[in-house]
Amino acid sequence: MNEKYEELIAEYLNGELDEQEKARVEALIAGGEIDMIDFKAMEQLHNELEMVSTPEPSAEMSDRFYAMLEEEKASAKPMFNISEKLNELFAALTMPRLAYAFVLLIVGGFIGAQVGSNDSQINELTNQMQDMREMMIVSMLEGASTTDRLRAVNISAELPIADEKAVRALLFTLNNDESVNVRVQTIETLKKWGEDETVREGLVSAIGAQNSDVVIIALADAMVELGLQNSKSEFENLIQERNLNINVKEKLESAIASL
């Protein structure tokens, strides 16, 4: 996000703007100059921080926190990539703000505890951010905006593991979203977790719920790629029960033969 909007959004969320300034922020969001994901991320963090006390972190605590981040990035960068990849959601947060936000979050959980090992602190940071990311994904998948839902699916693809809540939300999206593009992209995301049994079963079960030729073809490709032989009967049912386009029918017959 353009840094000039950070303070403006913060003031908007804090109720510090007059009606004219509020209208300006809303116009910037509507016009795309302020990305809705960035705004929602700041709003989510704002709401989270309101739930905890906000004491001024000591200089020692801040210094040690920054030292941990720098050491972890130098010695174990792959683990820290989780938080770095959250830039899609938290582009509005500079590193100092992120560090301070984390201090506020840990105050609610273990205030008074001594700063522990680097690994435990970094794990806590990544877990907090992972939870925020998952909540944001689920919230956006349930939203009215097709663009936001598509972005949520794309962000889901960056999750390091097949989180149960995210998988359930994505499977629901695959079976119910009105947008063909969203459903096709959801299939692509779920394929990345193709070793997960819930994902595999969900993809097979979704075949009969589809009414779009494009989505059916995407599922056929996914079944072949993942080697899901139990999808053959689902495709056979489609061929027998529906008046399919000839190209779709041939695609399904090819998938059945490959499986």
3-state class (DSSP) for residue 160: coil
3-state class (DSSP) for residue 224: helix
Q: Phi and psi (nearest 5°) for 211?
A: -120, 5
**pLDDT of the chain, 259 residues: tens digit per residue:** 555 677 787 778 877 888 888 888 878 877 778 777 677 767 766 665 555 444 444 555 556 655 655 665 555 444 444 445 444 444 444 444 444 444 444 444 444 444 444 566 666 666 666 676 677 777 778 877 787 788 888 878 877 777 788 899 999 999 999 988 899 999 999 999 999 999 999 999 999 999 999 999 999 999 999 999 999 999 999 999 999 989 999 999 999 999 8
CB distance 158 to 123 below 8 Å:
no
**Whole-number pLDDT of residue 85:** 47
Taking the alpha carbons of 143, 148, 153, 159 in that order, is the dihedral positive or negative? negative
**Whole-number pLDDT of residue 52:** 43
**Whole-number pLDDT of residue 126:** 64
What would the two tokens of residue 70 be? 């720098």
What is the chain's percent helix, strand, coil content, to nearest 5?
75, 0, 25
Is pTM beyond 0.95? Reply is no
- CA–centroid distance for 238 within its chain: 32
Angle at which helices 36-50 and 146-156 pack, to 10 degrees? 70
